[in-house]
């Protein structure tokens, strides 16, 4: 039995099925498409999260202030194309991470695990952890590329990569294969909580919207409404882990590949709390929502609509 999505149809249930392998392709494609639109928000979010690193509030210059001013600052410093910095690495990350994530979640649904109490949350978390591990090298490079800018606007450590392939070569040469997974200890919890919140709340929110019968049952607006509700939960639980993940990925490392600022997830979180204050764990919250919100909405909407088309095509072919 494949991943099924039940739909009410005049007292009966019409079921569309999509195999896990198809969900892999559809999930990766949907998230890559969303990434093209939301990457500028990711650039701004990354700069805000690195600004004032391990410094008390009010003791450092703030070249980035608020969302619109930060967008303008990036455009002035790096040009309009600077708002798409790290796009290639971002697309690679979205394809790898979400392909694995949706595939594993689809397998869990196929096995009936999501029908168990708490199964949706657990399946989403495990699928997210596996996806984050596979996509971690791409996220590492994306973060470092997006942090790079002219000296007057620089925040955080500057790695001075020129291209994605150049970054891969530099990290491999200096730190070895394991260096490509620098920061994975922050990425896995980040995606675990985000994936669990997204997949669990999207499924529940969409079912709730359908139950209210405010919208036509087959309308794309149902998925849009579910994605809007889901995005709020994702941003609230994910932002502290997102800040920590950005810091771990961008920090300088010694010759042995050890971070020079943070020893890991817990050490990073404690240092941010003590030196910058607890609100620093929500740095970049505005751009984070403006990025994660549309990305969640677009990803889940595209995925849901693509699954409808794939399910119908499979049904017609049988």
Phi (first) and psi of residue 259, to 5 degrees: -65, 140
Q: Tell me the H-state helices in the chain.
A: 20-50, 67-78, 87-110, 119-147, 164-175, 184-212, 220-250, 265-276, 285-316
Is 70 exceeded by the pLDDT of residue 12? no
Is 80 exceeded by the pLDDT of residue 301? no
How confident is the model at residue 316, as a pLDDT?
67
Among the residue ranges 142-156, 174-188, 206-220, 241-255, the one predicted with the least confidence is 206-220
- Cα(136)–Cα(180) distance, rounded to whole angstroms? 8
Is 60 exceeded by the pLDDT of residue 6? no
How confident is the model at residue 81, as a pLDDT?
94
Find residue 12's DSSP bridge partners: 9
How confident is the model at residue 317, as a pLDDT?
63
Find residue 253's DSSP bridge partners: 259
What the chain holds in terms of domains, given with CATH numbers, is: 20-306 (1.50.40.10)
Mean pLDDT of the region 159-179: 93
**Torsion angle defined by CA atoms of residues 152, 153, 154 and 156, in that order, rounded to the nearest 10 degrees:** 130
- Cα(124)–Cα(120) distance, rounded to whole angstroms? 6
How many CA atoms are closer than 13 Å to the CA of 53, on its beta-carbon side?
22
Q: What is the pLDDT of residues 81-124, one digit of tens each?
A: 999 999 999 999 999 998 898 889 889 888 888 888 888 888 88
Confidence of residue 293 (pLDDT cuts 50, 70, 90): low
104 contacts 126 by C-beta, under 8 angstroms:
yes
Confidence of residue 277 (pLDDT cuts 50, 70, 90): very high
Residues 6+ apart with CB under 8 A from 138: 89, 90, 92, 93, 96, 97
Q: Mean pLDDT for the chain?
A: 84
Residues 6+ apart with CB under 8 A from 250: 46, 50, 143, 144, 147, 156, 157, 159
Q: Which run of H or E residues covers position 13?
A: strand 12-18
Q: What region does 254 belong to: left with phi over 0, alpha with psi -120 to 50, or beta?
A: beta
Give the residue carrying structure tokens 């196929």: 110
Confidence of residue 299 (pLDDT cuts 50, 70, 90): low
Among the residue ranges 12-16, 95-99, 178-182, 249-253, the one predicted with the least confidence is 12-16
Q: What is the pLDDT of residues 199-251, one digit of tens each?
A: 778 778 878 878 887 777 777 777 777 777 777 888 888 899 999 999 999 99
Overall pTM > 0.85: no
Confidence of residue 125 (pLDDT cuts 50, 70, 90): confident
Q: Is 261 helix (H, G, I), strand (E, B) or coil?
A: coil
Q: What is the largest CA-CA distance in the chain?
A: 67
Among the residue ranges 48-52, 57-61, 227-231, 260-264, the one predicted with the least confidence is 227-231
Report CA-CA distances (Å) from 130 to 1, 98, 124, 184, 239.
23, 10, 10, 11, 20
């Amino acid at each position: 039995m494949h991943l099924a999505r039940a739909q009410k149809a005049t007292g009966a249930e019409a079921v569309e099925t999509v195999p896990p392998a198809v969900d892999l392709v559809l999930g990766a494609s949907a998230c890559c498409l969303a990434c093209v639109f939301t990457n500028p928000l990711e650039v701004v979010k990354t700069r805000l999260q690195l600004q004032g690193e391990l410094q008390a509030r009010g003791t450092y210059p703030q070249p980035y202030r608020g969302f619109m001013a930060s967008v303008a600052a990036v455009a002035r410093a790096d040009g309009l194309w600077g708002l798409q910095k790290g796009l290639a690495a971002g697309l690679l990350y979205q394809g790898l991470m979400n392909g694995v994530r949706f595939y594993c979640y689809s397998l869990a649904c196929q096995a009936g695990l999501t029908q168990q109490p708490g199964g949706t949350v657990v399946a989403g978390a495990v699928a997210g952890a596996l996806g984050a591990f596979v996509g971690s090298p791409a996220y590492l490079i994306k973060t470092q590329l997006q942090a790079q800018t002219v000296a007057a606007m620089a925040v955080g450590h500057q790695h001075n990569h020129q291209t994605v392939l150049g970054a891969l070569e530099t990290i491999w040469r200096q730190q070895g294969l394991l260096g490509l997974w620098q920061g994975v200890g922050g990425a896995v919890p980040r995606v675990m909580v985000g994936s669990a919140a997204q997949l669990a709340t999207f499924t529940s929110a969409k079912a709730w919207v359908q139950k209210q019968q405010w919208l036509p049952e087959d309308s794309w607006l149902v998925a849009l409404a579910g994605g809007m509700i889901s995005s709020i939960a994702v941003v609230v639980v994910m932002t502290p882990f997102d800040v920590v993940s950005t810091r771990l990925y961008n920090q300088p490392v010694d010759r042995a590949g050890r971070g020079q600022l943070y020893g890991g997830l817990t050490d990073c979180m404690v240092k941010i709390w003590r030196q910058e204050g607890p609100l620093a764990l929500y740095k970049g919250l505005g751009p984070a929502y403006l990025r994660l919100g549309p990305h969640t909405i677009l990803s889940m909407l595209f995925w849901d609509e693509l699954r409808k088309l794939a399910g119908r095509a499979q049904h017609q072919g049988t």
